[in-house]
Structure 1
Amino acid sequence: MSATPAYDPSNVFAKILRGELPAHKVYEDDKALAFLDIMPRCPGHALVIPKAPSRNLLDVAPEDLAHVAKVAQKVAKAAMTAFKADGIVLQQFSEEASGQIVYHLHMHVIPRHLGVPMKPPHVEMEKPEVLAEHAALLRAALGS
């Protein structure tokens, strides 16, 4: 097994954290940020990232991983309410062989409904107005 490559601060999520790219934010604290995926697999599909530079599960500091998991749980509970979901899928991919595309640790929080399939990954960009509406629903359920 080869060593994990170094963190690249030019990745798209680092740019979102620096305010260089827009995002439909739903939650933020001093250690983590949650925002909507622009190519959601289901309505309300959110991403939770640490603010600390971490490529993925293989190099994240344990305390940052724990905090991201806590925020993912908070977002998941809000998504259950906001989207009247029947369940939640939580996904995290580390390195190319797993399907990771953006090399900044992120957890996918995907609200699910019985009998409704998820869209394939990376297929369709959602309309900004739909993302804004979904972000507002999630923020309201989060109480922010």
Structure 2
Amino acid sequence: MAQDPDCIFCKIVAGELPSLVVAEDERTVAFLDVNPATPGHTIVVPRDHSADLHAIGAEDLAACAAMGQRVAGLLVDRLDAAGVNLLNNVGAAAWQTVFHFHLHVVPRYADDPLTLPWIPAPGDRDEIGRTHARLTA
């Protein structure tokens, strides 16, 4: 497995940093964002390190898209999301802050105040934990 020892997402995939995983398979890991745009905001990453959309292989990209679809279904089914944004940021100018390819799966609610782009801020750890429990029940 290709890893970058300085990459926070590689450390999460390797189990070196804690995360709240909601789904995973042989190619991908999906975990709750600790700076959520809305409750249930999930990050989908390939297990192998690729810096961005330009660097990821077709098989890992397809696996991430399939996992994004799976997670979107979880968010609608278990969190009653009214919709979902599936986002990928490529490069600093497009708000990419972690240079390991990832998809943001952001549930949308009728009354959520989110406007894009959002400014990441630490989320309530207890609320994130309760959301994790709902998604993995």
SS at match of 2:67: helix
SS at match of 1:64: helix
Question: Which residue of structure 1 lines up, in the alignment, with residue 119 of structure 2?
Answer: 121
The answer to whether the aligner puts 1:45 opposite 2:48 as a matched pair is no
Question: Which residue of structure 2 lines up, in the alignment, with residue 18 of structure 1?
Answer: 14
What is the Cα deviation at residue 8 of structure 1?
4.3
Q: Give the counterpart of 2:60 among 55, 60, 64.
A: 64
In the TM superposition, structure 1's runs of 4+ consecutive aligned residues that sit over 2 Å from their partners are none
Q: Which runs of 5+ in 2 are unaligned?
A: none
Q: Give the counterpart of 2:80 among 84, 93, 100.
A: 84
Paired with 1:138 and 1:126, the residues of 2 have a C-alpha distance of: 17
Instruction: Name the TM-score, length of structure 2 as normaliser.
Output: 0.91
Paired with 1:129 and 1:113, the residues of 2 have a C-alpha distance of: 20
Question: Which residue of structure 2 lines up, in the alignment, with residue 28 of structure 1?
Answer: 24
Q: Which runs of 5+ in 1 are unaligned?
A: 1-6
Determine if contact 1:8/1:103 at 8 Å carries over to the other structure. Answer: no
